[in-house]
Amino acid sequence: MVTRTLATLVHLEDLSGDRQAGGNSVTVNVVPEQVKPAAAHEPVKRYDAIIIGAGISGMYQLYRLRQLGLTARVFETGDGVGGTWYWNRYPGARFDSESYSYGYSFSQDLLQEWDWSEHFAAQPETLRYLNFVADKFDLRRDIEFSSCVTAAAYDEAANCWEIETGDGRRARAQFLITAVGPLSIPTMPNYEGIETFRGKSFHTGKWPHEPVNFTGQRVAVIGTGATGVQVIQEVAKTAAHLTVFQRRPNYCAPLLNRPIDAETQRKIKASYPEIFERCRESHGCFIHKADPRKAAEVSPEEREAFYEKLYADPGFGIWMGNFRDILTDPLANETISEFMRKKIRERVKDQGIAEKLIPKDHGFGTRRVPLETRYYEVYNQPNVTLVDIRETPIQRIVPTAIMTSATEYELDIIIYATGFDAITGAFDRIDIRGVGGRTLNDKWADGPRTYLGIQIEGFPNLLTLVGPHNAATFCNIPRCIEQNVEWVTDLIRYMRDKSLKRVVPTQEAERVWTEHVYELASRMLFTKVDSWFMGINTNVPGKQKRTFLLYSGGAPAYREKCDEVAARGYEGFTLT
């Protein structure tokens, strides 16, 4: 093994999407390419199923396959379970979903044993929870940590998948199940001189395991998405000076987090069935259900009062529990957007800064809504500067500073909250080859095509949890993950009971599903705006053209369709 210092590596590693090296700490270990690792000579291990990723979906899939009596092996890049919650350790990281709506629902014991301390738990608690789950169900014995899968090829003659890890280990299984996460490949900007910065730099999605102290430091945050907002409001508390480099602002809504007291804890534990039923019924499986009215069906006064109420309520209610047409009708959307603009102007003292914080290119909710805790008030602090980089673009990074077209900002720490190569990014980083050696990259060159977001024509026995065009991509994610995993488990059980060995969707089923996904999306205002929903990432070559990566028909409709397909003997799939 060789070690190299990080300062020069942040950029290169992020562009390659290689998480093998772990967190963004001071040094990383790298296997020299010319040396073939000893592991390459190890015998190929065989399992019934291989799962890539030990986040929320991979852990639950392992649990279910074990129950079915299958041998399953999970390969995980990190050295612990938790996926998103393992990697995103940045200060301020926490749920935007109510904690008790986010945990697994499959085990009554687990629900009763675990106490969430806050309505919106912070990352350390969520990671503790996922470790608790891994221990309780003894999951670790079937997980290979520090094992980044780099290639997966379907062997047609043997009807099995062979995977290879970055250090040359190989394994084979009849089923390959990807649990790679929708937002798991952090991406960095391509600024000139980025590697020359001599202070510390971190991407929020590869945060070090050791605490980072901001006291007395001059800190920059680049990016103002859901992550940037969380990290900014935290760093502003202790940094000597915080400079926020904002390209495009988002409409942010109050989180209104608070601790869970003993009485509330008791009530939550007694009402889990109702909580999960409520989630099941809502579009995105949140506890907030859309209001059945349209925005124009009420008087302006009533509408204003409703928006005030939503603004004063915790969580995503203002996004998910709003009038049913705010995300489809531009006029309805304008009413809530104007309300949000008014709130920003009220909360930010300097009206010039307030204007910079108001989105001009999209309406409320058409991009991911960051939830905040005194975010706008941060800009009233004397130790915080907002730089609009559309007015004064970043030109380059030098050893001690960020240079914009207007001036130079001397810095000790740069935090990149610049997002992820969303949904398909983790697939792109694995050399996945299906029938005839065709690569998935090639198949998805013009955007993803799937059947139910769970299988791909030409890639038999490959099952994609939270894959593109799957309802789980726009969901209170564990709720949809449980549906995905249980559906996949039922499919495998069905195949075993009927002595079937191979499942693959027909070209026609894939075509119809993909058209359906785009048809539904065309009604949504968010398809008119650049965001990761639309597959846009300005930092990744080839991701500047809008496609559509989510499923916007809602979890109830998706679940119904999946159940219908299963009830009809897995209609649209060829089973042999």
Closer CB to ligand NA7, 85 or 427, in the complex: 85
Tell the smallest beta-carbon distance from residue 495 to ligand NA7 (Å).
34
Question: Among 95, 202, 532, 548, which residue sits at the site for ligand NA7 (rule: CB under 6 A)?
Answer: 532
CA 207-212-216 angle, 5° bins: 140
Is residue 546 a contact point for ligand NA7 (CB under 6 A)? no
Is residue 228 a contact point for ligand NA7 (CB under 6 A)? yes
Tell the smallest beta-carbon distance from residue 246 to ligand NA7 (Å).
7
Question: Among 224, 257, 335, 424, which residue sits at the site for ligand NA7 (rule: CB under 6 A)?
Answer: 224
Number of residues counted as binding ligand NA7 (CB under 6 A)? 20
Is residue 419 a contact point for ligand NA7 (CB under 6 A)? yes
Tell the smallest beta-carbon distance from residue 188 to ligand NA7 (Å).
8
Tell the smallest beta-carbon distance from residue 217 to ligand NA7 (Å).
21
Is residue 231 a contact point for ligand NA7 (CB under 6 A)? no
Tell the smallest beta-carbon distance from residue 51 to ligand NA7 (Å).
22
Is residue 189 a contact point for ligand NA7 (CB under 6 A)? yes
Residue sitting closest to ligand NA7 (CB): 225
Closer CB to ligand NA7, 103 or 223, in the complex: 223
Question: Among 260, 318, 417, 485, which residue sits at the site for ligand NA7 (rule: CB under 6 A)?
Answer: 417
Is residue 539 a contact point for ligand NA7 (CB under 6 A)? yes
Is residue 461 a contact point for ligand NA7 (CB under 6 A)? no
CA distance 511 to 526: 23
Question: Among 64, 206, 248, 479, which residue sits at the site for ligand NA7 (rule: CB under 6 A)?
Answer: 248
Site for ligand NA7 in 5-44 (CB under 6 A): none
Strand, helix or coil for residue 226: helix
The mark string for 372-401 relative to ligand NA7 (x by CB under 6 A, - otherwise) is -----------------x------------
Question: Quick one: which H or E segment has residue 143?
Answer: strand 143-144
CA distance 454 to 469: 8
Sorted by sequence, the CB contacts under 8 Å of residue 372 that are 6+ apart come out as 229, 230, 233, 252, 253, 254, 255
Is residue 247 a contact point for ligand NA7 (CB under 6 A)? yes
Strand, helix or coil for residue 576: coil
Closer CB to ligand NA7, 227 or 455, in the complex: 227
C-alpha distances out from residue 439 to 246, 373, 430, 442, 492, Å: 37, 44, 10, 5, 24
The piece of 54-62, 272-280, 321-329, 413-421 that touches ligand NA7 (CB under 6 A) is: 413-421
Structural tokens at position 568: 């009809």
Sorted by sequence, the CB contacts under 8 Å of residue 89 that are 6+ apart come out as 23, 123, 124, 127, 207, 208, 209
Closer CB to ligand NA7, 95 or 307, in the complex: 95
Amino acid identity of 375? Answer: Y
Sorted by sequence, the CB contacts under 8 Å of residue 138 that are 6+ apart come out as none
Closer CB to ligand NA7, 92 or 554, in the complex: 92
Question: Quick one: which H or E segment has residue 562?
Answer: helix 555-567
The mark string for 140-179 relative to ligand NA7 (x by CB under 6 A, - otherwise) is ----------------------------------------
In angstroms, the first-to-last Cα distance of the chain is 45
Tell the smallest beta-carbon distance from residue 31 to ligand NA7 (Å).
29
Is residue 243 a contact point for ligand NA7 (CB under 6 A)? no
Size (the chain), residues = 576
Is residue 528 a contact point for ligand NA7 (CB under 6 A)? no
Structural tokens at position 1: 């093994």
* HEC-encoded secondary structure of 158-212: CCEEEEEECCCCEEEEEEEEECCCCCCCECCCCCCCHHHCCCEEEEHHHCCCCCC
Q: Which long-range contacts (CB under 8 A, 24 or more apart) does 533-541 make?
A: 533/367, 533/368, 533/422, 533/474, 535/422, 535/423, 535/424, 535/447, 537/187, 537/419, 537/420, 537/421, 537/422, 537/425, 539/187, 539/188, 539/189, 539/190, 539/418, 540/187, 540/421, 540/425
Structural tokens at position 398: 């030098």
Tell the smallest beta-carbon distance from residue 358 to ligand NA7 (Å).
14
Which residues contribute to the site for ligand NA7 (CB under 6 A)? 183, 189, 222-228, 247-248, 368, 389, 417-420, 532, 538-539
